[in-house]
Structure 1
Amino acid sequence: MDSSVTIFGDWGTSRLRLFLRQGKMVLDRRDGPGIGSLSKSPCETFLELVGDWREAGPSQALLCGMVGSRNGWVEAPYAACPASAADIRDRLIQIDADGLPVAIVPGLSCRNALGGPDVMRGEETQILGALALNADLAKGRHLLALPGTHTKWVVVDDGAITSFLTAPVGEIYALLREHSILAKAAPGDAESAEGLAAGFTRGVARIVEHGPGALPHLIFETRSRQLLDGLAKDEAMGFLSGLLIGADTATTSSWFGKLGQVSLIGAPALSVLYAEAITAHGGASVPVDGDSAVLAGLTTLSSAQNSGVHVLA
């Protein structure tokens, strides 16, 4: 084995991203099915994907995300907040995959700002990566956002993740778009980036005007504006997205007190939308690439090769 060669992976519900690394250099990347769509066991799927990579002599593989859930390869119990990189490192689950040591990163749990239980898996690694990429984030109190199917708003104090709040914005949008009457007033309309963007801006503006408490009533405008105002379907879908992201941002602003500068970790296209909503609510934002954050976070944890709890594969 070559101690400088490692395999890093972000294995979520919908996709798997694997990286073969030597030092800090990415030698190769492969994508695979998410935990929610496997036709074989996680172990078999992983070993097939990394088969020829074994020739490079990787010393270990380090995986984060839903691979550590109850439906994943093996459950990695949540670490409670506040949690630092060292706390997460100490709770890595170590298994063996045909002679290759594999470590699985645990998720995090907390009691959120609303007093309810909250959980994350995978985002904790991106957060650690953001801290590694920007040392200023490891000092003082900061707000980070990870837009996605289940958007996370995260508070970091002096480098430790102290609390977070989840909003299933992407999932709600997909459900309303695909399974509600809201999107069916103008069936068959072609979508354009310009229409989506214009509709999004209008949706955010409606939330700024009336506040997030009006969201249930404003959502119906997605349909009524198509029927009575001739709103094109692409603008209507952008409008719906703007309402949901705008309301999420507005609610978080009232929870956090003042948005200030928010670090947005994730895919650029979605981060742009959240940046617009944050600006509309008086804040500012700086983007952090999701892939870069994952790799930096796994690098932070990779020194834990011999740490964690050992279980059978």
Structure 2
Amino acid sequence: MDQDVVIVGDWGTSRLRLWLRQGKSVIHRRDGPGVSTLTETPQQTFLNLVGDWREASPAGAILCGMVGSSLGWSLAPYAPCPADAAAVAQRTIRLEADGLPVTLVPGLSCVNPLGGPDVMRGEETQVFGALALNPALQRGRHLLALPGTHNKWTVVEDGKVTGFVTAPVGETFALLKQRSTLAAGGGAQAEGSAEGFALGLERIGAHGAQRLLHLMFETRGRQLLDGTSPADAMGYLSGLLIGADVAAARDWFGPIEAVTVIGAGPLGDLYVKALARVGVGAAVVDGDAAVLAGLSSISRTSAISRFQDK
């Protein structure tokens, strides 16, 4: 079973990542559109992308993310927290696409630290992948951050996700950058600078997350009165948003010595910098590696469950 050829994928709102694997080896990778931008049905889009891969006779496919939502291929109802990989595997749903078995992974639901409902799809697979890659995370209580469009702060206790809270940091930044006066004068086309980001962290650290809205308008004032460049302005805005998110996480989860950040790259680096500024260490786990390890863990558990059911 471990040497079967399989198709695995993370199909989110804005992008699709597919891998053709044999055992732990990746034979090929292919990217595609997210579920929000499809021009054909999810099934047909999937079949178009994996057409030539069928020559390798894959045993099946397993997909996580928004593909299992009401916006995607078919609804895979959330698994409630606390939940481990086995609990998620038990709630997978199985489809068929032109004779190829397809498994959809459900997301997780919880009551967040503010007492409100919260959900995730796709991030749970990365969390379980991080646990598989670093078995030390399977023991005790740990806090994991998953930067992205909707940043997730996730608590894991003895291998189970016990709760999480979502902050739409990436989405807020994108909307402000593309549609607000804060980015007027070239901000929409500018990449944020490191200097601007550091200033944003400094300002939010000095005045607190409760002053976020007031500090945000300085993005505009600094450009008009101080000659701040668009790059510095966008870096400043990013620093404010991420700094406020990190500050709130410390309030919700208590004293934090270290955080596991899932997702290498520029955004993950910004969270590492923001955490360091408040004295919190961070270990970084590559997002692709976490997805692959998590899907392997869920797939293996699902296969064992199906075998036992027989």
TM-score by length of 1: 0.94
What corresponds to 2:303 in structure 1?
305
Structure 1 match to 2:73: 73
Counterparts of 1:239-250 in structure 2 under 5 Å?
Answer: 239-250=236-247
Q: Which amino acid aligns with 1:198?
A: E
Could you list the runs of 5+ residues in structure 2 that have no partner in the other structure? none
CA distance change for structure 1 residues 170 and 190 in 2, over 3 Å: closer, same or farther?
Answer: closer
Contact 2:259 2:281 in 1 (8 A): yes
Residue of structure 2 in register with 1:265 after alignment:
262
Q: 1:216 to 1:31 in 2, by over 3 A?
A: same
Q: Is the 8 A contact 1:7 1:60 kept in 2?
A: yes
Structure 1 match to 2:174: 174
> Which range is displaced more, 252-261 or 197-206?
252-261
SS of the equivalent of 1:96 reads strand
The offset of 1:281, in angstroms, is: 1.4
Matched, 1:46 2:43: no
Residue 187 (structure 1) aligned with residue 191 (structure 2): no
SS at match of 2:71: coil
Which AA in structure 2 matches 1:260? E
Q: 2:81 is aligned with what amino acid?
A: C
Question: Runs of 4+ in structure 1 displaced over 6 angstroms?
Answer: none
Cα offset, 1:260, TM superposition: 1.3
User: Does residue 91 of structure 1 match 2:88?
Assistant: no
Q: CA deviation at 1:205?
A: 0.7
Aligned to 1:233: 230
Displacement of 1:188 in angstroms is 7.4
Give CA-to-partner distance per residue, 1:43-100, whole Å, 9 cap, x none: 1111111111111111110000000000100000000000011100100101111111
* Equivalent runs, 1:251-262 vs 2, <5 Å: 251-262=248-259
Deviations 1:270-291 (A, max 9, x none): 0100011111112110111000
Task: Find the aligned partners of 2:27 and 2:81 in 1 and give their Cα distance.
Answer: 34
Residues 57-68 of structure 1: pairs in structure 2 closer than 5 A: 57-68=57-68
Alignment partners' CA distance in 2, 1:189 and 1:56: 44
Residue identity in the other structure for 1:187: G
**Do structure 1's residue 279 and structure 2's residue 280 form an aligned pair?**
no
Structure 1: which 5+ residue stretches go unaligned? 309-313
Contact 1:2–1:56 (CA<8 Å) still a contact in 2? no
Query: Matched residue of 1:149: which SS?
Result: coil
Tell me the amino acid that sits aligned with residue 128 of structure 1: F
The answer on 1:221 being equivalent to 2:233 is no
Q: How many residues align?
A: 305
2:131 alignment partner in structure 1: 131
RMSD of the TM alignment (CA)? 1.6
CA contact (8 A) 2:81 2:162 kept: yes
Q: Distance in 2 between matches of 1:23 and 1:188?
A: 46
The code of the aligned residue for 1:144 comes to: L
Which amino acid is 1:223 matched to?
R
Name the counterpart of 1:311. none
Deviation of residue 3 (structure 1)?
Answer: 6.1
Aligned-residue offset at 1:191 = 3.9
C-alpha distance in 1 between matches for 2:278 and 2:2: 50
What amino acid maps onto 2:272 in structure 1? A
Distance 2:189 2:82 in 1: 47
Deviates more, 1:295-304 or 1:151-160: 295-304
CA distance, structure 1, for counterparts of residue 188 and residue 94 of structure 2: 51
Secondary structure in 2 matching 1:231: coil
CA apart distance, 1:187: 3.2
CA drift at 1:209: 0.6
**Counterpart residue number, 1:142:** 142
Tell me if structure 1 keeps the 8 A contact 2:177–2:187.
Answer: no
How far apart in 1 are the matches of 2:197 and 2:207? 16
Change in 2 beyond 3 A, CA 1:265/1:2: closer
